[in-house]
Amino acid sequence: MDDLVADNVYGPFWDPAGTLRSEIRTALAAKTGDALWIASVERIGRQFDEEIDEARRDEARMRAHGSGGGE
């Protein structure tokens, strides 16, 4: 994910606040039981899907306004 964020074309649209990446790091570092781990993974999966949709909307919005975000 860090490589995607660093991409000059698509990076600015992907997890700009770093929220999703932070959630993943927290879940990986946590020493939780199976039930909490599964709940974390499910929550992150939903956030990941939402982030894809949001990145696509942001990219389309930027392109519609004539500023493609990458050079």
- Please write the tens of the pLDDT for every residue from 14-49: 788 888 888 888 888 887 788 888 888 898 889 888
- pLDDT score at 8: 74
Question: Is residue 59 within 8 Å of 69, Cβ to Cβ?
Answer: yes
Question: Is residue 23 within 8 Å of 47, Cβ to Cβ?
Answer: yes
13 has a pLDDT exceeding 80: no
The tokens describing 14, both together, are 């992907």
Give the burial class of 22: count Cβ atoms within 10 A of its Cβ; 0-12 exposed, 13-18 middle, 19 or more buried.
exposed
- Mean pLDDT across the stretch 49-63? 87
Give the start-to-end residue ranges of the domains of the chain. 2-64
- pLDDT score at 5: 76
pLDDT-based confidence at 58, cuts 50/70/90?
A: confident
